[in-house]
Amino acid sequence: MYNNFRGFQYSTNQDFYPDYFIRREKEKSTLKKLGLYTGGAVIASVLLQSLIIIAIKLFDLADRYYDDAYFSSAADILIVILGMLLPFLFFGKKMKTASGASDIPSLGAPFRAKLMLPAVIAGVGLCMLGNIINSYITMFFDSFNVELSAPDIPMAHGVGGVILTFFRIAITAALVEEIALRGYVMGSLRFYGDSFAIAVSSVVFAAMHGNMVQAPFALMAGFALGYLSVKTGTIWTGIIIHALNNSLSIIVYYLSERYGEEQIAIPYALALYGLIGAGLLCLLYFVNHSRDVKLWQNRSLLSTGEKIKAFFLSPTMIITMIYMLYVTLEYINPGQ
């Protein structure tokens, strides 16, 4: 059987060790640190991105940033790299030290190369299913005359603009977000059980989107990306799926701009349900052929509630969740 987690060498499956209570407190302390570092990374990311936007305004480039899609695309690439990747690299080292896990972020080769393709197809299919569920959530709010909105993302046109847009949204965003969330956050929490690590990283991933248009999808996608990354033994799986999902969104946008939403509605629906069908079939194949790669079971002495409290009640995580809730509420518009 593959050992897909190599940190933490001691066993804690018995409650009668003399150091039982010491280990409990140590585990709580570690989780509090991981929550502190995760929240710190998010807060630092928000502050750095805000400082870059302020700098753009101070240099009288605000109009160009909001009106010139080429300029805003290039600036956003810089914002993602400096404003998100650097904070998570800095705090990620602290997460790695605190967790005792030596193999995060897991950017190595997969356990089985032949399972990568079905894993990727399964992941894309699950993301498409998440898109449909997400649309029903939006419709549910609409039925109560509540409009959900999200920040506008300017799309550049022309060959150069399309390439720049793909690089910004499909490559840079996917790579940075997966290293941050599935690499450091999920990776550092795996001693407490893969299910717990996947769930927590998905919640943080959803919260970081800061709006109800994207957050529900990000939560669902986070579970799929986390599960498939763990089962394949590398976050390259999540990066590829994330990049393909974002690429499909870009393609749909440009096609709708060129031909109109009504003209592409039927081809889009056929492609969507085709990807979902192929994804579910590949998921069944993947699960069946990766049975010997087990999710790392919880080796902690803490209950699920204790783990959640220790992680999310750290000071920076409290600030992070309150701030993200505030931002999210800004994009919920109740009807008059």
8 Å CB contact between 302 and 26: no
Domain that holds residue 278: 20-334
* pLDDT exceeds 90 at position 13: no
Question: In whole angstroms, how far apart are CA 3 and each of 183, 297, 322?
Answer: 17, 11, 37
Residue 4 counted as domain residue = no
Residue 14 counted as domain residue = no
> Where do runs of H (alpha helix) occur along the chain?
20-58, 62-67, 69-80, 86-99, 116-143, 158-165, 173-178, 186-188, 194-209, 215-232, 236-259, 261-289, 304-312, 315-330
Residue 10 counted as domain residue = no
Question: In whole angstroms, how far apart are CA 32 and each of 29, 177, 214?
Answer: 5, 22, 28
Question: In whole angstroms, how far apart are CA 75 and each of 65, 66, 67, 83?
Answer: 8, 11, 12, 11
Residue 248 counted as domain residue = yes
Residue 2 counted as domain residue = no
> Who has greater pLDDT, 41 or 297?
41
What mean pLDDT is predicted for residues 159-184? 94
pLDDT at 17: 53
Residue 223 counted as domain residue = yes
Residue 308 counted as domain residue = yes
Residue with structure tokens 């804690």? 12
User: Which residues pair with residue 333 across a beta bridge?
Assistant: 147
What mean pLDDT is predicted for residues 206-222? 95
pLDDT at 16: 52
pLDDT tens by residue, 237-296: 999 999 999 999 999 999 999 999 899 999 999 999 999 999 999 999 999 999 999 898
What the block records as the tokens of 24 is: 């409990």
Residue 59 counted as domain residue = yes
* pLDDT exceeds 50 at position 332: yes
Distance CA 107, CA 103 (A): 9
* pLDDT exceeds 90 at position 12: no
- Look at the chain and report how many structural domains it folds into: 1
pLDDT tens by residue, 66-112: 888 889 889 999 999 999 999 999 999 999 999 998 889 999 999 99
* DSSP SS3 for 325: helix
The one-letter code for the residue type at 243 is A
